[in-house]
Chain A
Amino acid sequence: MENTLRQKAKELLESGEVKVVIGYRWNRTRTRTTPVFITKPEDTDQLIFNPLCVNNLSLYLTRKFKDIQALGKPAIVAKGCDIKNIVVLITEAQVKREDVFIIGMVCNGMVYKQELWKGELTPQIMPTKCHNCDVRNPHVADFVIGERSTFTPPEKPEGMVFDKIKALDSKDPSERWAFWINEFSRCIKCYACRQVCSLCFCERCITEKNMPQWIETSAHPRGNLSWNLTRAMHLVGRCTFCGECERACPVNIPLNLINQKMIQVVGEAFDFKSGYDEKVHPPMIVFSPDDKENFIK
């Protein structure tokens, strides 16, 4: 699999079809993977692909990385879940489909955190998204690498995140409120969640707008609440549940719970899942006469 990947990357760079290959390589101690940007055909041997390649590299296609954009057309090593983000980026005109070469990797699951890796992929160390993955065979790609996966996700999504959401839903609003206030109280406003999110591509984040300053920047409960809720709202109908924000959060705020809950709400209300079809816009910005109006009471 890695050989095919290296070969393809080399071909692409040699032919000049792409100018940079965005992929994964080992760190120096070979304990973690790290993103790599290869511009020379001879460097393609660095490329790897294994269950530690958990990062969502679609982030590097956004305007947050103008230096990478300046290199020219990229090829990107992407798992099905990463491709979902690329699809949203295409919908939102951040990337043109023809301006990116997607090397789709058939994936059998990733580790939730790289520290958990003991040399073998077991269901226990896989995140919820991998247990319910319907894109192990990449759904949008220019070139697919790997043996076709025969995995079928369970009919009803299951896993830790879904169990926790169910548990939260069964609580009354005041308990839920207390839960979230407590979780958000740890937020240190480092904005790691934003930095790692490929859909947080704003030229200027709303939190940095200071005329007027809608979101208080200091890390105290009020500002924390408005930041985290605003970010959740900005991801409604867009978030693909890649889980990077929660993985990046240094204080372990369970952001997956909010994002997955939003995905469920959008799914129920609009029968919409993001990341599958670049031609369909998220429901929050489109009007359809068939929209449900059952929230008007």
Chain B
Amino acid sequence: MPRIGVFVCQCGNNIAATVDTKKVAEEMSKIPGVVYTCDYKFMCSSPGQEMLKQAIKENKLDGVIVSACSPHMHEKTFRKASEAAGLNPYQCEITNIREQCSWVHHDSTKKVGTLKSTDLTRMTIERLKKNAPLKKIKIPIKKKALVIGGGIAGIQAALDIAEGGRQVILVEREPSIGGNMARLSETFPTMDCSQCILTPKMVEAELNENITLLTYSEIEKVDGYIGNFTVQIRRKSKYVDEERCTGCGECMEKCPFKTESQFELGLNKRKIIYTPFPQSVPNVPVIDAPNCPKIQKDKCGACAVVCGPKCIDFKMEDKIVTEEVGAIVVATGYQLMPNERFGEYGYGRIKDVISGMQFERLASSSGPTGGEIRRPSDGKVPKNVVFIQCVGSRDEKKGVSYCSKICCMYTAKHTKLYSHKVHGGQSYVFYMDIRSGGKRYEEFVRGAIEHDGAMYLRGRVSRVYEKDGKVIVQGADTLSGSQVEIEADMVVLATAIVSRTGADTLAQKLGIGYDKYKFYNEYHPKLKPVETVTAGIFLAGTCMGPMDIPESVAQGSAAASKVLSLFSADEMAREPITSVVNKTTCNACWDCVTACPYSAIERDTIKNRQGEILRWVAKVNDGVCQGCGVCVAACRSKSIDLKGYTDEQVFAAINAF
């Protein structure tokens, strides 16, 4: 016969107001197997926990039930206390008689609440009787991290992990790290030059001996689980030997062909063998194979001729490298929504309608105009510039429903930059609301309006068209209630931030969740902001949603601190609430494999002594399984059980009801 103790908590008045806890305890004492019951004001208090320990020892209890608040609150507390008293912690179960019972009943006669508490506790008792003692799962940890994405968030995460003395692999899709921040001219609210603050970090990342930079590379496949990931990385062919290249730039000089520069967003040309920008890290050029006549038609080859160290190899092929890491930080960043979607603004049709990011390049001293604001069509200095905010943001019909968060600030910055660079120029801003929450942000916007003369017009633009070399902007000023028409020289669109193309494919490889906009989901929006539901995979920066540089950097550091604390122990303990497969009845239909959101189920075989495969069966990897139970529901032959919530336990609980 089991020896079960039942402890009913009054939770001050939280439970006791609608539940007669004494009566519940009394009722429970009548159940066979229950040898000790009591009720107490605060079970979670120190005296309450002491009482529990005492009772376990004195009555030789082999199972404990605390009827109190949600197990989310104090299951850990009571399991720890039980363990201290010599009991297997998983022989301690919680009945929730607060959130789903006392709080939802307002019957001061306590009749209903007491009845429900009695039922719930009785069910837990029957469930507990079928409990098996469980042991925490210990998994070894490989103390090397992978950071995906070499923007500012990824660089920060990599640097912090490396500073902590751990090895980091930083994977970047483009030929250089730096990300979107490398494109920016100045940064709000301090107006310091973006590249001046970014490039030292890029160089630091390159020089740090704990960081391995893999640029021009993409994630091919991710297997494994927290502490033990195996990652395959595709190293796209650069056609240039990284080891031997000295970065002299002779090849780029001599390359006779040009194409549009993606880095300059079409505002300038680049060579076919190129680095995206002069301060690229690593300073090794790559050949743009689809556009290279040597690779396509075996003509030219000028770069190879001039290359001193002879490091150009036109036959180079993609390589797949396999790395074993213990944690992954995903920092893949954002891109801008294609502006062509908004026909009324004329982007793509009218040359002098540009995106905010293109304006950054115009204003940047390393940009195509050397930092002078000149419009793309004829290179004239624009005297009137219209900035349109919320292009795509907060626009459920044509764009996205969320606010892109940084546009109010960078548009204010643009007007400032414009007024500093073009004296006597007038800027107009069409906005919906000015959202400038943040340290020194509001003052920054006020400065743009009051000192730099930006004209803010609250309203939407209905039409943008060309007339006599001018760009005419028609819109509404809702504050004065009038229609306005501005003859502008240039129009700048503050386009919505969207997730990266391919964000969903990467998420599927990693087994992490994403929302309908394909931004990655954090585990908990408030309390676990950089964790994902997949243990060991962390997030940083704008792959989660729009945010500015300070936030991205903070998240990079936060993710790094999570990685470092994970790496601080040699092995980690995990909750043993995991699924287990009954191999004799498994059909190997792999529905569980498909259904598992954590990729925790593998295809395993049963072999005979000769090593021949007799059958295929599913196998749960304890290290990855989060105990969600989706596989249990998906399995038609009931071949999967969840430890701690087995079929028999659930059946017993239902029968006791």
Q: Please list the residues of chain A having a beta carbon within 8 angstroms of any beta carbon in chain B.
A: 63, 92-94, 201-206, 209, 211-212, 214, 234, 281, 284-287, 289-290
Contacts and interface: CB of A to CB of B under 8 A. Distances in A.
- For chain A, what secondary structure do more than half of its interface residues adopt (helix, strand, loop), or is it mixed? loop
Report the 5 A-B pairs with minimum CB-CB distance, sorted nearest first: A212-B651, A202-B637, A92-B589, A204-B585, A285-B595
B311 to A, nearest CB: 43
B514 A289 contact: yes
Interface of B: 514-516, 584-591, 594-595, 597, 616, 634, 636-639, 647-648, 651-652
Nearest to B603: A93
A234 B633 CA distance: 11
B61 to A, nearest CB: 26
B516 A203 contact: no
A220 to B, nearest CB: 18
A205 to B, nearest CB: 7
A92 B590 contact: yes
Contacts, number: 60
A202 B590 CA distance: 13
A281 B589 CA distance: 11
B594 A285 contact: yes
Contacts of B639: 203-204
17 contacts: A92-B587, A201-B587, A203-B584, A204-B584, A206-B636, A211-B648, A212-B647, A212-B648, A212-B652, A214-B638, A284-B634, A287-B595, A287-B597, A289-B514, A289-B515, A289-B516, A290-B516
A273 B357 CA distance: 45
B594 A203 contact: no
Contact of B590 (A93, A211, A212, A289): A93
Nearest to B588: A93
Contacts of B588: 93-94
A189 B587 CA distance: 23
Given A281-B594, A289-B516, A206 B589 contact: no
Contacts of A284: 634
Contacts of A205: 637
Most buried by A among B516, B591, B636, B648: B636
B603 to A, nearest CB: 9
B614 to A, nearest CB: 11
Most buried by A among B515, B586, B616, B638: B638
A203 B586 contact: yes
A201 B648 CA distance: 24
A203 B585 contact: yes
Most buried by B among A93, A201, A284: A93
A86 to B, nearest CB: 14
Nearest to B595: A285
B637 A206 contact: yes
Given A92-B587, A92-B590, 14 more contacts: A93-B588, A93-B590, A201-B589, A202-B585, A202-B636, A202-B637, A204-B637, A209-B638, A211-B648, A212-B648, A214-B647, A234-B636, A287-B595, A287-B597
A296 B516 CA distance: 17
Contact of A203 (B514, B637, B647, B652): B637
